[in-house]
A and B are shown apart, each in its own frame.
Chain A
Amino acid sequence: DARVTQTPRHKVTEMGQEVTMRCQPILGHNTVFWYRQTMMQGLELLAYFRNRAPLDDSGMPKDRFSAEMPDATLATLKIQPSEPRDSAVYFCASGGTSGVYNEQFFGPGTRLTVL
């Protein structure tokens, strides 16, 4: 049963610290998305990649956030330095190879708390 995996599942850190979240997309999927969910803003797209190339990162605060895909099996989202307002659940999703019909498969999320 293919699934998107995310690590860590929970992270508590102090303001100013670096945070790295990792995602393993479903094998064979070529599109990877990062979403953030908060009570106030709901689910919002931060960035997404196709074939490891960034296509859209307009939802991401550029000064502190960075997203990369070092290889086809790993996507990372890094926050440096972290701030309390970054506290949220971060979801990674992956999608199939072509077409708009492809559903996105979401991971279980990383719950980040910045103190």
Chain B
Amino acid sequence: DAKTTQPNSMESNEEEPVHLPCNHSTISGTDYIHWYRQLPSQGPEYVIHGLTSNVNNRMASLAIAEDRKSSTLILHRATLRDAAVYYCILRPQRGAQKLVFGQGTRLTINP
């Protein structure tokens, strides 16, 4: 399974944008980049995914580098509810659908 590298923790202020980086230098051409987050005392939840182009949804935006060796999850206006552990995960286009979780980034939001 291709590996991702994320900072252990980040901190931001409420109502400010947050940029969560992820490095995946060994990504293969058919790996999708998925982001999940885990709020305190809950199971993980899907945030967003992409392959090559930048993606937007109601929760966040995903910016993917041109060489695909890194990506950034963008929360445009963080709220206290966005405090969670964010996981960047690579999933192959074909084959196993399982998610291989790393340690993730623990995001703290200050009021």
Contact = CB atoms under 8 A, between A and B. Distances in A.
Interface in B54-111: 87, 91-94, 96-104
A43 B86 CA distance: 12
Contact of B98 (A48, A102, A105): A48
By size class, the interface of chain A is: 20 to 34
A100 B43 contact: no
Nearest to B98: A45
Contacts of A104: 36, 44, 46, 97, 99
Nearest to A98: B97
A91 B100 CA distance: 14
Contact of B43 (A31, A56, A109): A109
Given A100-B91, A100-B92, A95 B44 contact: no
A42 interface: yes
A29 to B, nearest CB: 11
B16 interface: no
B93 A100 contact: yes
A45 B44 CA distance: 13
Give the size range of B's interface with the partner. 20 to 34
Given A31-B97, A100-B97, A91 B102 contact: no
Q: Is the interface of A mostly helix, strand, loop or mixed?
A: strand
B15 interface: no
B101 A42 contact: yes
Contacts of A109: 42-43
Interface of B: 32, 36, 38, 42-46, 49, 87, 91-94, 96-104
Given A45-B98, A104-B44, A106-B44, 19 more contacts: A31-B97, A33-B98, A33-B99, A42-B101, A42-B103, A43-B38, A43-B87, A55-B96, A56-B96, A100-B91, A100-B93, A101-B32, A101-B49, A104-B97, A104-B99, A105-B46, A106-B42, A108-B42, A109-B42
Interface of A: 4, 31, 33, 35, 42-45, 48, 50, 55-56, 91, 93, 95, 100-109
